[in-house]
Chain A
Amino acid sequence: MAPKTSAEVGGMGHSVKRKEDPRFIRGKGTYVDDIQLPGMLYLDIVRSPFAHAKITKIDASKALAIPGVLAVITGQDLAKYNLHWMPTLMSDTQMVLPVDKVMYQAQEVAAVLATERYIAADGAAAVEVEYDPLPVVVDPKKALEPGAPVLRTDKKDKKDNHIWHWEWGDKGAADRAFRDAEVTVKEDIYIPRIHVASIETCGCIADFDRVQGRLTVWMTTQAPHAIRTVFALVAGHVGLAEHKIRIISPDIGGGFGGKVPVYPGYVIAVAASVLTGKPVKWMEDRMENLQADSFARDYHITAELAAKKDGTLTALRIKTIADHGYADAAANPSKFPAGLFHICTGSYDFKAAHVEVDGVYTNKPPGGIAYRCSFRVTEAVLTIERMADVMAHQLGVDPAEFRLKNFIRPEQFPYKSALGWEYDSGNYAGALRKAMDKIGYAELRQEQAEKRKRGELMGIGISSFTEIVGAGPSKQFDILGIKMFDSAEIRIHPTGKATARFGTKSQGQGHETTYAQIIAEELGIPAADVQVEEGDTDTAPYGLGTYASRSTPVAGAAGAMAARKIRDKARKIAAYLLEAAEDDLVWEPGKFSVKGSPQRAKTIQEIAFAAYTNHPQGMEAGLEAVSYYDPPNLTYPFGSYICVVDIDKGTGEVKVRRFVAVDDCGNIINPMIVEGQIHGGLTMGLAPALFEEISYDEEGNIHGGSFMDYLLPTAVETPNWETDKTTTPSPHHPLGAKGVGESATVGAPAAIANAVVDALWHLGVRHIDIPITPAKVWKLLREKNVSE
């Protein structure tokens, strides 16, 4: 689609360079830790070495003896204000600081307030805590066994570790389909606990002004307004009302869902500032970030597919144990306890499906969060795409042919899935065929057959995923009852330049550029003349923040709608200036002209000036608008990825030789940014597929608590991504856009896992849990008597 605007205007479809990059690449960004306030104090946190233990004594005397240490804050201190526990977004509770026992290794135990950051750290090391270790529950399946130690002893009448049971779909229909099925397959799939590991850790500066009774918090948060409301609800009883709270989310160094939750450190810093009347800074170090912040995934899945002998899929059944750690603190904005997991019918036309999920408590950090997907979508996609391959191989059908046979067809949209979602638009076969052509699928299969004869291990994996983003329609989504709309406020100044504020918050997505492009598209004001601001609750309109790929589908739509309101008023002013009827005016980006006499025209800049200097009588001055957009539906980006791997029989190493990604995110705002998002997303999909995992030993000691053991892919491990696109606009989004930030993270792991299993299927391998490490593959190869 050719852009409607010129390159100078830079509306949709132009690869406008990112406005935020000049400050980032010159080191001039302002992150929370860059902010220094006069008289600022520092907070450091004492953390538990044990996964489950009674606290018998906290001795702060040695810490308090260090010059510069001002206070040691414990759960007992917070209990005086009833701030030692806080509610989670999932109606559970979690500790701010414990009063009697710790529930996971690295849990906050006490906090040290000092005049310098290093003194605070020394103080934390000097606090002596006596623990009485308790039996540790690490395995969620064992946690459900009768006689397992009950973890949440704080909850009266809680007699087990089960949090909730949730099921969805028509169980009867699914069971009947399985009874009548000609072919069924079943696999246990574990999707391990991982961590977003954003480059900036979490932290805040809390600054309570005692004179004005006003709290300002600079905070690493993806959702400043929601946080302000949460603070007002939680701390209302100690006098913090919402109009006296200002949350500022400055530049954010990556979020991926990890900066949605409220961590205890934030609350302690706020309490410390309110008590001292001084600004208090708290910043996590890397190990605290990896060990204590909310995790993602940790789903133990049993999945079954039913099909006819001719390869037609008929039904899907899934049972899942969800390990939530010691509290269900999921950053999940939906009304469903398992988020959007019931998108698990994927891109296929199932007639029947049923999903069950059980949430369980264990001695691990609370969570979870999304890890760059709109909550449990990667879990769903990995499961369905893995199972599609298992079924195809089981039937002896090529996995690509199998998918093409079972895809929802373009004419079926809008498509109502067996689990109740209404897919907006799609052309799944189009994307897969494009990917197959680009990678040379037939030739690769031929090469694989030849290599197999020679005993070489090569695999081809496909993932034809359907995403579900843009939370969300208020009937399905809320946070604490607040509907998941988002907002935009645009002010056109007399000289025709604009300031636009949004309820979202970029963490690297490039909103300052893409939102300006949306306004450029709608009003013809050059994107360079639009200043985009986000993240300050004192100035931005109320919004729910950035996660779940919701900024373009929701706030982007709000931007377009607000711009259209402005255009409507501009038309009135233009009609007045041109002495023509409104209906006789023709709009092209940037100006109104009179039908039939294009030389009689007023530019948007002239109209803006008139809005303040020469507007029609009876009309209010100014040219501005606000929109709160409640999306009528979610958007469903999709794509097909094909991955080719070679496996080293000696070391078990999986080498990604090629990876072709064809994405469809509807109409594109900025092709360069979309490509960047896909590159980043693919790398964050490669990571859990091959490297990342946080596991625990039986005593609850974390494995993967530092970058020594938690392996992030570097430039060395990252293959050359080959990207392409198809364009299927969303029918309900004002711009036809769908959102793209998470597609690649969601789609990539299954392609890689499928490629590895494809290379080993003839040896009898049906499934390998991610991350597919050399050690896992090496062990499998030895079990199958494959030697170098």
Chain B
Amino acid sequence: MGMTIEQKFSVNASPDRVWAFLTDPYQVAECLPGAAITSKIDDRTYEGTVTVKVGPVTAAYKGQVRFERLDPERLEAEVVGRGQDVKGKGGAEMRMLSRLVPTDGGQTAVVIRSDVNISGILAQMGRGMIESVSTQIFRQFASAARRKLEASADSTSEGAPPVGADPKAVNALSLGAKAVGETVGRAVRRLLGGTDGG
């Protein structure tokens, strides 16, 4: 099941600082709920895991991410990821294009476009659910990234303590519950005759 997810958030940090963060898979993984980098293959290729729990269904993907293109001049990065569920319940592929746009007051806008293709158990949950879950994951990522970057805006040290989520500590169930809540919210709004805000 293929879909394109476009998201945008803004950080109170310089483009250089955000660039350093976004091109460091360890830092990104710290901020991404359920994600961890397990090993480095080469400068551009890493192995890792992502666990997503949607209601009663858990998918634990194991796979590779690779920076296909890093353009520091234009502040654009293209990352390709590919993983398989450890229990053989399906797979996921992603091509993510990130672009940084400096904005007024030293802020940086992060614009992300992901083409995601999932198969198997999560695809079975259906587009409505998966899009809600993706949005939820992204929001958590954006807020963790913002906290991390804004807390250490003037620091460039690599060894900054992780403020993002520890992969094991992520409450994936509540993530699913939140997405369900959102989708149910849409249904309730429909029932009440309101317009679909989602």
Q: Which residues of A contact B (CB under 8 A)?
A: 49-50, 105-106, 121, 125, 128-131, 287, 291, 697, 699, 701-706, 708-709, 714, 716
Contacts and interface: CB of A to CB of B under 8 A. Distances in A.
Contacts of A121: 56
Interface residues on B, range: 20 to 34
Q: Chain B interface mostly helix, strand, loop or mixed? A: mixed
Q: Chain A interface mostly helix, strand, loop or mixed? A: loop
A57 B60 CA distance: 19
B72 interface: no
A714 B128 contact: no
B63 to A, nearest CB: 15
A697 B1 contact: yes
B124 A708 contact: no
B1 A701 contact: yes
A585 to B, nearest CB: 61
A716 B190 contact: yes
A716 B90 contact: no
Nearest to B195: A651
A416 B127 CA distance: 49
Contacts of B161: none
B23 interface: no
A50 B126 contact: no
Interface string B91-115: 0000000000000000000000000
Nearest to A651: B195
Contacts of B193: 716
A705 B124 contact: yes
Contacts of A130: 88
Please list the 5 inter-chain residue pairs (A to B) with the smallest Cβ-Cβ separation, ordered nearest first.
Answer: A49-B120, A708-B128, A701-B123, A709-B126, A49-B121
A125 B89 CA distance: 10
Given A703-B1, A706-B129, A714-B190, A105 B124 contact: yes
B2 A706 contact: no
Interface string B124-139: 1111110000000000
Contact of B129 (A702, A708, A716): A708
Contact of B2 (A129, A287, A697, A705): A697
A733 B159 CA distance: 87
B119 interface: yes
B10 interface: no
B87 interface: yes
B87 A128 contact: yes
Contact of B89 (A49, A703, A705, A714): A49
B46 to A, nearest CB: 25
B88 A129 contact: yes
Nearest to A106: B124
A699 B191 contact: no
Contacts of A49: 85, 88-90, 119-121, 123-124
Contacts of A701: 1, 118-120, 123-124
Contacts of A704: 126
A141 B99 CA distance: 42
Contacts of B124: 49, 105-106, 287, 291, 701-702, 705
B183 interface: yes
Given A49-B90, A129-B88, A706 B119 contact: no
B194 to A, nearest CB: 10
Nearest to A49: B120
B125 A705 contact: yes
B119 A50 contact: yes
Contacts of A128: 87-88
A701 B91 CA distance: 12
Contacts of A50: 90, 119-120
B125 A706 contact: yes
A709 B89 contact: no
A101 to B, nearest CB: 14
A708 B123 contact: no
A528 B63 CA distance: 69
Given A697-B1, A716-B190, A709 B119 contact: no
B191 A714 contact: yes
Contacts of A714: 190-191
Nearest to B57: A125
A703 B120 contact: no
10 contacts: A49-B85, A129-B88, A697-B1, A701-B118, A702-B124, A704-B126, A705-B125, A709-B127, A709-B128, A709-B129
B88 A131 contact: yes
A294 B32 CA distance: 40
B126 A708 contact: yes
B191 A716 contact: yes
A125 B60 CA distance: 13
Interface in B1-19: 1-2
Nearest to B192: A716
Q: Which of A121, A701, A703 has the most chain B CB within a 10 Å cutoff?
A: A701
Nearest to B1: A701
A703 B190 contact: no
Contacts of B1: 697, 699, 701, 703
A198 to B, nearest CB: 19
A704 B127 CA distance: 8
A199 B85 CA distance: 33
Interface in B41-97: 56, 58, 85, 87-90
A699 B183 CA distance: 25
Contacts of A129: 87-88
Contacts of B58: 125
Given A49-B85, A128-B88, 13 more contacts: A49-B90, A49-B119, A49-B121, A50-B120, A121-B56, A131-B88, A287-B124, A699-B119, A699-B123, A706-B128, A708-B128, A716-B190, A716-B191
